[in-house]
Amino acid sequence: MPPQSTDADWVARMADEVIAESELRAPGKPVVVASGISPSGPIHLGNLREIMVPHLVADEVRRRGIACDHVLSWDDFDRLRRVPANIDQSWAEHIGRPLTSVPAPPGSPYASWAEHFRAPMEVALARMGVEYRGISQTQMYTSGAYVDQVLLAMREREHIDQVLGRYRTKAAARPAQATPAGATADETEAAAAAAEGSGAASEDDGASSAGYFPYKPYCSVCDRDFTTVTSYDDETTQMSYTCQCGHSETVLLKDHRRGKLVWKVDWPMRWAYEGVIFEPSGVDHQSPGSSFVVGGQLVSEIFGGKQPIGPMYAFVGISGMSKMSSSRGAVPTPGDALEIMEEFLLRWLYTRRRPQQAFTIALDAELHRLYDEWDAVERRVAGGNASELDISAYDRAIRTAAGELPRTPRPLPYRTLASVADITTGDPVQTLRILSDLDPGHPIASLDEVRPRLDRAQCWVATQLPAAQRTRLHDEPDRTALDALSDSERGALKLLADGLEEHWSLDGLSQLVYAVPKLQAGLPADAKPTPELKAAQRQFFALVYRLLIGTETGPRLPTLLLAAGPARVRALLGG
């Protein structure tokens, strides 16, 4: 029997509902879940939830042996709305053109704006094991796939206008804030960027002084959508429009291919067309006149379909983006995140939280803590003492119905790898020497054993660690500091220097550095720590840091000692 859902496992619970709903609506057919992404600029890491929630549900459906189609709509027939700050502002002349007709930013290998921003997202999704059926809306509209739906919507334009009218006054009220209270400026900006990617930012619903028309043509001369439909004949499908560029034209809508339904009509049309059972939406869709709410009416009243079920998912914030990255004017993308973390870890952020829970993805040193947390969960799972929630979130992170994601054969602590990358500036020979010394009883034979985690940690140091926080091991002893040492400090340093060889491993050196202040106080090395001892240990560590790297703190001391090597440590400590 397939696994049954439990309260701890939100994915299984949602899959139960989706399968039941699909059996009601489309018995015997594959379950259809959907996501939509507008490649209007760099696709923000926060937008990943739009894909991950349906992905995880689709994956659970597939794990139960039921066919599932995850439709990912690339909303690339949307108009270019604005040019991102870091792109040449001369691109503003393309505002109003479909994203597939706008040239890619300078230097891009891709043919169009849409392709330029879609391609890296496709790579990231493939790396994360997300299986989907990508649909280019440009391809659908320009091939005439939606002609019947377009003609139907135009025939029913009064009815659609009426439905929209029910909400127009309500919608005039400020839409629900997509940003949690107390959000930082960065988070607010991220929320705005995330909303840009959802299609929800298109507010034009087709109303104009010439009447209501739910179809918006792209001008055949300037290819922009600064157009107004001025008349339409239901019998012949003859449609006239004018454009701000001065062009006006009469076409047969049944043969017309350069235009699309306005967003609020387009979305429900596609629910019906694809038979979507499950599609979550962002919290920005909670307001009364939102496209999700209006779409729920239009899909049944006009297109004879049903609104998908699905949760409103909460905001995902990003914190700790380095100055370096933000100065490039770039918003962090899923591809950026995968440069510094393994694929399963990014999946885990989504698997362990219900879609309604907001959370923040930290790109700074908080990532080290997240990795520690993951490693602890992995040990509990292996040891058979993990909670139900831990087990399901872990399992959904490391595998899909198609198989396991790549993992690092020997997952050393990320913070250790980052420290080693920092100290060695990535030198492979030094890195291998230090990593082999971590556990001399079970040394590392090749860096491949610690990859790809090592590569991600090296990239983290290169892109996220501010230059001022880089570790610079002294080449020469600091004579002034050494001359000023007290007898007790000299004694402590001698205890450390004398014990180095015997304790030359990560565990051994950890014991040694904590033991030195105890031995000095005449206590055994395994004495229980007291407040006095802890203060003495802090002072001792600060002293060693000063002599080795000239600062009061640094990478964990045992890692730093291993990196420096016994001879250099002894020299710098005055031995």
Q: Segment contacting Zn ion (CB under 5 A): 26-34, 221-229, 307-315, 552-560? A: 221-229
- Measure the CA–CA gap between 17 and 311, rounded to whole angstroms: 12
Choose between 247 and 451: whose C-beta lies nearer to Zn ion: 247
Closest contact distance (angstroms) between CB of 229 and Zn ion is 13
Contact 170, 289 (CB under 8 A): yes
Give the dihedral sign, CA 22/313/163/37.
negative
Choose between 97 and 503: whose C-beta lies nearer to Zn ion: 97
Q: Segment contacting Zn ion (CB under 5 A): 24-32, 235-243, 299-307, 465-473? A: 235-243
Closest contact distance (angstroms) between CB of 92 and Zn ion is 16
Q: Of 147, 201, 222, 391, which one interacts with Zn ion (CB under 5 A)?
A: 222
Choose between 247 and 433: whose C-beta lies nearer to Zn ion: 247
Closest contact distance (angstroms) between CB of 244 and Zn ion is 6
* β pairing state of 316-319 and 359-362: parallel
User: Does residue 229 touch Zn ion according to CB under 5 A?
Assistant: no
- Of 35, 36, 40, nearest to 99 (Cα)? 40
Choose between 208 and 446: whose C-beta lies nearer to Zn ion: 208
Choose between 243 and 361: whose C-beta lies nearer to Zn ion: 243
Question: Angle 167-172-178 (CA atoms, 0-180°, nearest 5)?
Answer: 95
Closest contact distance (angstroms) between CB of 101 and Zn ion is 13
Mutual angle of helices 263-274 and 291-301, in 10-degree steps = 50
Exposed/middle/buried for residue 207 (C-beta within 10 Å: 0-12, 13-18, 19+): middle
Choose between 222 and 527: whose C-beta lies nearer to Zn ion: 222
Closest contact distance (angstroms) between CB of 12 and Zn ion is 52
Q: Between the CA of residue 334 and those of 51, 229, 282, 368, 411, what are the distances in Å? A: 11, 40, 18, 18, 22
| Residues 181-220, interacting with Zn ion (CB under 5 A) | 219
Q: Of 247, 254, 258, 568, which one interacts with Zn ion (CB under 5 A)?
A: 247
Closest contact distance (angstroms) between CB of 184 and Zn ion is 42
User: Does residue 245 touch Zn ion according to CB under 5 A?
Assistant: yes
Phi (first) and psi of residue 144, to 5 degrees: 85, 10
Closest contact distance (angstroms) between CB of 121 and Zn ion is 31
Closest contact distance (angstroms) between CB of 222 and Zn ion is 3
User: Does residue 95 touch Zn ion according to CB under 5 A?
Assistant: no
- Measure the CA–CA gap between 134 and 517, rounded to whole angstroms: 62
> Two tokens at 128?
């994360």
Question: Angle 521-525-531 (CA atoms, 0-180°, nearest 5)?
Answer: 55
Exposed/middle/buried for residue 403 (C-beta within 10 Å: 0-12, 13-18, 19+): exposed
Choose between 228 and 425: whose C-beta lies nearer to Zn ion: 228
Q: According to the 3-state scheme, what is the secondary structure of 394-430?
A: HHHHHEECCEECCCCCCCCCHHHHHHHHHHHCCCHHH
Q: Segment contacting Zn ion (CB under 5 A): 43-51, 89-97, 188-196, 239-247? A: 239-247
- Measure the CA–CA gap between 311 and 47, rounded to whole angstroms: 15
User: Does residue 243 touch Zn ion according to CB under 5 A?
Assistant: yes
Contact 216, 225 (CB under 8 A): yes
> How many CB atoms are located within 10 Å of the residue 347 CB?
24
Choose between 188 and 228: whose C-beta lies nearer to Zn ion: 228
**With CB under 5 A, what is the number of residues at the site for Zn ion?**
6
Choose between 25 and 247: whose C-beta lies nearer to Zn ion: 247
Closest contact distance (angstroms) between CB of 144 and Zn ion is 22
Tally the residues of the chain.
575
Q: Segment contacting Zn ion (CB under 5 A): 42-50, 222-230, 334-342, 463-471? A: 222-230
Closest contact distance (angstroms) between CB of 94 and Zn ion is 13
Choose between 215 and 371: whose C-beta lies nearer to Zn ion: 215
Closest contact distance (angstroms) between CB of 248 and Zn ion is 9
User: Does residue 272 touch Zn ion according to CB under 5 A?
Assistant: no
On the question of a cis peptide bond just before residue 452, with omega within 30 degrees of 0, the verdict is yes
Choose between 217 and 282: whose C-beta lies nearer to Zn ion: 217
Exposed/middle/buried for residue 22 (C-beta within 10 Å: 0-12, 13-18, 19+): buried
Residues that bind Zn ion (CB under 5 A): 219, 221-222, 243, 245, 247
